[in-house]
Amino acid sequence: MVLVPAGPFIMGNNNDFYDNDNDEKPQHTVDLPAFFVDRYPVTNQDYQAFMAATGHAPPRYWPASGGMPPGKADHPVVGVTFADATAYAHWKGRRLLTEEEWEKTARGTAGLRWPWGSVFDERKANVGTDTTTPVHAHPDGASPYGVFEMAGNVWEWTDTWYELYPGSPPNRTVQRFTGGKVKVVRGGSYSSDIGSARGADRGNKKIDEPGPSLGFRTAQDVPGYESYAAALKARSAAREAQAAAALDITEYAEHEPARALAAGAARTLQQADGAFDGRDFAASERQAGEARTQFDAAREKALDYKRQVMAKKAADTEEQLVRLETALKAVPDGLSPEQQALKTDAEDNLRRGREFFDEGGWGFAGMHAFIGLRQLENLRKLAGP
């Protein structure tokens, strides 16, 4: 199953010449909660598993033996009534889609004619043929949500009674079928024309009339969907924290405690991913938040060690620079030209050492302090005993 997020979409059409029944007016916006939907129509193989588990009767057009049609395990099941489709959905802990959910899944939020766009492409759907095809036969014909076979192959039951849309112009032909007489079916079939395979096209069927080109797919509500977006954000933040920690945690021995914390955080993040896949979004959000905190703590532990080392380096370098500065102040007057040159060089090294120290370049600062002290030592040697 795939998730169709909550939010509005454009439903119906006002002036599409493919609308032969004039039952798609008026075009209107519908705001739906999130739901899960089968990526593919229910197949013969799926339905056979349902029959084996429940003792349910086979579809109308299966062989008399009760086995599935030969060579069509991965084709959509057909010949099922509304009650058959509903029974299968309940067995799976699911339900049929509403008409609104079906159209949003097929058209996305932009009101596309067909799942892939508004220009028909015969390579992307099974339309105008004489039989079904495998449900994975048209990988390029997916809807904006990655749902397949929503144009052609088989019509699909929905859970919605066929009625005119609110605000629709009077339509005596359509009104003959309204009032709880037939259910909406959607998507067209292998034997349909391309107009019937549009996402907005509406068909109808009596609930006890199976058809040789009528199948279905299932849907499921999303409990706790309000936590879905929050869980996505929390998992993303945890992974950003993980990446940041990886930059500061090395394989050196001193970072072993930080590595242990990061490993625990990674396990917590795996739990968050598992909870998300299991649709427990609230738990996923909580666990991802814990993982982020753990990654941040691991990084801080590594940085704390670095800070301690760098603080000692800074203190040692400062001590060297102070020694150089103190030694320079103690140099007497009356130096020879050679001694004066050494003193001048030592003063220059003190200046450069201070500049590097202020920039955080303690290695360079310490080097200049060391050179300056050596120069003063040479100066003293020139002065004699």
**String of b and e for 346-382 (b: at least 16 CB within 10 Å)?**
bbebbebbbebbeeeebebbbbbbbbbbebbeebeee
Q: Cβ atoms within 10 A of the Cβ of 288, count?
A: 28
Residue written as token pair 């993982």: 291
Single-letter amino acid, residue 61: Y
> Rounded distance, CA 236 to CA 223, Å?
21
Beta bridge pairs of residue 126: 152
pTM of the model: 0.64
Residue-level pLDDT, tens digit, the chain, 385 residues: 999 988 899 999 998 999 888 999 999 999 988 999 999 999 999 999 999 999 999 999 999 888 999 999 999 999 999 999 999 999 999 999 999 999 999 999 999 999 999 999 999 999 999 999 999 999 999 999 999 999 999 999 999 999 999 999 989 889 999 999 999 999 999 999 999 999 999 999 999 999 999 999 999 998 777 787 788 889 999 999 999 999 999 999 999 999 999 999 999 999 999 998 887 888 999 999 999 999 999 999 999 988 888 888 899 999 999 999 999 999 998 899 999 999 999 999 999 999 999 998 989 999 999 999 999 999 988 877 6
Across the beta sheet with 2-4, what order do the strands follow? 2-4, 35-37, 218-221, 95-96
Can you read off the two tokens belonging to residue 176? 């003959």
The torsion angle over the Cα atoms of residues 165, 166, 171 and 172, rounded to 10 degrees, is 100
